[in-house]
A and B are shown apart, each in its own frame.
Chain A
Amino acid sequence: MDNPVFKHIMNGDIEAYSGLYKEYYKRFYNYGRKFTTNTYLIEDSIQEVFLDLWKRREKLSHVDSPNFYLYSSFRYVLIRKIRQHEKMVFNQSADEDYEFSGEHVIVNNDLSEELQIKLQKAIKTLTGRQLEAIFLMYYEDLSYKEVASILNISVKATYKIMARSLLALKEKFTIFFVLFFV
């Protein structure tokens, strides 16, 4: 149990819990918006994850990484809700995969215009899962293993995804690197 806040929650401390809720609300909102613009689904998912967390608070001592626990729950619930919603509204098949959207990737605009265009193009070749793996690892303080588990893929596959995505980037950038570093 690495998170003291979790300990407070196990003891029923509402003030600590409020802080945790609000903190994760921001993070899950940010994460969830990469999948859907429907903020109601995000809100509902956050409510469901935390209601479940609260109900189980006395059994949380087995949770090694609260961050990981919350992220994997949230992703699971959100994707389920998006699926249900899409099925109801657009009659989409339930097997449709709902992915992290690449439109939210930003390329640093300190780069030259030429370089920015190249990086944009490279990003377009990445899959949603490849981007999501990067997002989670770089921004959400999760380990490789945890990301793999959240995305429901083996650790090996995570390495592959990372390698593939960055390889794709590298190929797009070969010319640039030649220019820049030679």
Chain B
Amino acid sequence: MNKEAISNRYLHFKESDFLTDSYFLEWVYRPSAELDAFWQQVINTVPQQKETIANARLYLENLSFVTHTPADEAITASWEKHLEQIQALPERKPAIRRILLRAAAVVAGAIVIGGTWFVLRSGNNSQLVARTGFGELKQVMLPDGSQVDLNANSKITYKDREVWLEGEALFNVKHINSKFLVHTKGLTVTVLGTVFDIRQRRSKTEIVLQSGKIRLSFANGREQDIIMKPGQIVSYNDKEEQSVTGNTSPEKFSAWKNQRLLLQDPKVSDILIYLEDNFGKKIIMEDPALNDRMVNGPILISSLDDALFVLSTVLNTEVIKRDSTTIVMRSRSEQ
């Protein structure tokens, strides 16, 4: 640009005009020797604009924006999800698939052992979530072929042979040459091919092994790992951080699967806690003495009404629905 052209263009520029000038913006934000030279020439040609140019610079230099930074885990998780999506797309060229496989091994390597990733992949999402409402049971077939019976008011999240459990579930784990892990509040079960039940309610987790072999590891780091044998029950209280090992009947423990409740030496209070956890109602026993009574034999738990009917018949109480969330059991009068 010659002197005349510069003068014509910039002589009457205001600050705002400079700030809409791409040469000017580039000079401030992406400086280069060429831009320096050009703007020095402008200042020399129209010295009366020196101040306006300084002002415009100051505007730009003191304005910025908050930077929002995503968590690294969010970026990685998003990429992995995307990678699975593009891998689930119909193929076009075999060459691309080979590259995908190699890259997938790199990305998923931290979590997955060997090349099992593609075998396990079922849908578009690596993470599966299954949950049940109060009073609802569900059977879930996991992508690796393992089966899970989910008791009421429970949730599992599954990814690559790792399960996070809230509530209770009966696992029938497909035995393949890779570990299967179940995490609950306070402990992890490592499965070596097997059927077992985990009941994690309030501060207590109970594990009952039906068949096969599992190892329990505790999050607190103080308890030693326990290798369980079939028929054993381990009960862990994560408030007291203590585990107790005993024997039980796995079939009875998991009778909920067939909508029966069969607790070992069940006190009325234990049964009521179980019903509260699985049906989401508060149950109040008016006569506290009844709480310590034992009730043997299966209780039908296909619905809360059924269960309470059985209990109230045995205990000679009536069932009063106080409001939508609270049920009161009151002893019938003697006459």
Interface residues, chain A, with chain B CB atoms under 8 Å away: 12-15, 18, 21-22, 25-26, 29-30, 33-34, 39, 43, 46-47, 50-51, 54-55, 58, 104-108, 110-111, 119, 123, 134-135, 137-139, 143-144, 159, 162-164, 166-167, 169-170, 173, 177, 181
Q: Please tell me if the beta carbons of A134 and B63 are within 8 angstroms of each other in the complex.
A: yes
Q: Is B324 an interface residue (CB 8 A)?
A: no
Q: Is B67 an interface residue (CB 8 A)?
A: yes
> Chain B: which residue is nearest A108 at the CB level?
B62
Interface residues, chain B, with chain A CB atoms under 8 Å away: 14-17, 19-20, 22, 25, 29, 51, 54-56, 59-70, 74-75, 78-79, 81-83, 85-86, 89, 92-93, 95-96, 99-100, 102-104, 106-107
Query: Which residues of A are found within 8 Å of B63, using beta-carbon distances?
Result: 105-108, 119, 123, 134
Given contacts A143-B22, A170-B16, A177-B55, contact A43 B62 (CB under 8 A): no
Query: Which residues of B are found within 8 Å of A21, using beta-carbon distances?
Result: 78-79, 82
Q: Please tell me if the beta carbons of B16 and A47 are within 8 angstroms of each other in the complex.
A: no
Which one, A15, A143, A159, contacts B20 given CB within 8 A? Answer: A159
Bound form: Cα–Cα A173–B57 in Å: 13
Q: Please tell me if the beta carbons of B66 and A166 are within 8 angstroms of each other in the complex.
A: no
Query: Which residues of A are found within 8 Å of B74, using beta-carbon distances?
Result: 29, 39, 43
Given contacts A111-B62, A181-B54, contact A46 B107 (CB under 8 A): no
Q: Please tell me if the beta carbons of A29 and B16 are within 8 angstroms of each other in the complex.
A: no
> Chain B: which residue is nearest A46 at the CB level?
B78
Chain B binding surface SS class: helix
Bound form: Cα–Cα A26–B67 in Å: 10
Query: Which residues of B are found within 8 Å of A26, using beta-carbon distances?
Result: 69-70, 75
Q: Please tell me if the beta carbons of B70 and A106 are within 8 angstroms of each other in the complex.
A: no
Most A CB within 10 A of own CB, among B14, B20, B86: B20
Given contacts A12-B96, A22-B79, contact A119 B16 (CB under 8 A): no
Those 8 A-B pairs whose CB atoms lie nearest each other, nearest first: A14-B103, A33-B68, A166-B16, A162-B20, A12-B96, A108-B62, A104-B66, A166-B19
Which one, B54, B82, B106, contacts A51 given CB within 8 A? Answer: B82
Query: Which residues of A are found within 8 Å of B16, using beta-carbon distances?
Result: 162-164, 166-167, 169-170
Given contacts A14-B100, A55-B89, A181-B51, contact A105 B65 (CB under 8 A): yes
Which one, A13, A106, A170, contacts B99 given CB within 8 A? Answer: A13
Query: Which residues of B are found within 8 Å of A34, using beta-carbon distances?
Result: 65, 68
Between-chain CB contacts (< 8 Å), 15 pairs:
A12-B93, A18-B79, A25-B78, A30-B67, A46-B78, A105-B64, A106-B65, A134-B63, A162-B20, A164-B16, A166-B15, A166-B56, A169-B59, A170-B59, A181-B51
Given contacts A18-B103, A33-B68, contact A138 B55 (CB under 8 A): no
Query: Which residues of A are found within 8 Å of B54, using beta-carbon distances?
Result: 181
Given contacts A43-B78, A143-B22, contact A107 B62 (CB under 8 A): yes
Bound form: Cα–Cα A8–B64 in Å: 34
> Chain A: which residue is nearest B107 at the CB level?
A18
